[in-house]
């Protein structure tokens, strides 16, 4: 169940206080959003380090936590953000970073804490055959992955 479901008497302000506590303790928090359409999750707290928040769509809660925490930890330890268009390899998956065009439409808790100047990068994942959601062959018969911004392609050097 969700925190709000477990604490029906609590207010949004109460929840923001819980999130702030997690950020103080861990450096960031992860907000998972269950949805009938497409679930998604995002970090809250990287903004305080001058980094974009991270967001992932169309994965279950366990996978979202693993991927977001892995990438957030990488960004913090390497003292710098990844950029739109960058690709990262995890042991079992490729990710490409896409700038989220409207973070305020998807990241309500981050906006509630930091305001509308929050930037975010979506962690777009490749399917098991290393095909991306902008390919017509992406994840045949499987879940679709919404991409919440415009892809930046890099020119090879």
Is 132 contained in some domain?
Answer: no
Is 44 contained in some domain?
Answer: yes
Number of domains, the chain: 1
Q: How many CB atoms are located within 10 Å of the residue 86 CB?
A: 14
Task: Classify 65 in phi/psi space as left (phi over 0), alpha (psi -120 to 50) or beta.
Answer: alpha
Is 50 contained in some domain?
Answer: yes
What domain range is 113 assigned to? 8-125
Cα dist from 103 to 34, 89, 135, whole Å:
17, 24, 24
Is 33 contained in some domain?
Answer: yes
Is 23 contained in some domain?
Answer: yes
Is 131 contained in some domain?
Answer: no
With beta carbons less than 8 A apart as the criterion, state whether 56 and 148 touch: no
Is 135 contained in some domain?
Answer: no
Tokens of 2: 């969700």
CA 90 to the chain's CA centroid = 15
Whether this prediction's pTM lies above 0.75 is answered by yes
Is 138 contained in some domain?
Answer: no
Helix, strand, coil percentages in the chain from 3-state DSSP, rounded to 5:
30, 20, 45
Of residues 74, 67, 77, 78, the one with CA closest to residue 124: 67
Per-residue confidence in pLDDT tens, the chain, 157 aa? 577 777 888 888 888 899 999 999 999 999 999 988 899 999 999 999 999 999 999 999 999 999 999 999 999 998 766 899 999 999 999 999 999 999 999 999 999 999 999 999 999 999 999 999 999 999 998 999 999 999 987 666 5
């Amino acid at each position: 169940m969700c925190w709000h479901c477990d604490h029906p008497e609590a207010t949004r302000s109460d929840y923001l206080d819980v999130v702030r506590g997690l950020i103080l303790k861990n450096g960031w928090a992860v907000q998972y959003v269950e949805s009938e359409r497409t679930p998604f999750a995002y970090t809250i707290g990287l903004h305080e380090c001058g980094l974009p928040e991270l967001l992932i769509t169309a994965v279950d809660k366990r996978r979202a936590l693993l991927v977001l925490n892995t990438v957030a930890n990488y960004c913090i330890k390497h003292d710098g953000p990844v950029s739109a268009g960058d690709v990262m390899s995890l042991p079992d998956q490729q990710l490409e970073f896409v700038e989220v065009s409207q973070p305020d439409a998807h990241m309500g808790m981050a906006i509630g804490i930091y305001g509308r100047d929050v930037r975010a990068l979506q962690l777009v994942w490749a399917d098991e055959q290393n095909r991306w959601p902008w390919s017509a062959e992406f994840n045949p018969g499987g879940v679709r992955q919404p991409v919440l911004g415009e892809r930046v392609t890099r020119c090879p050097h």
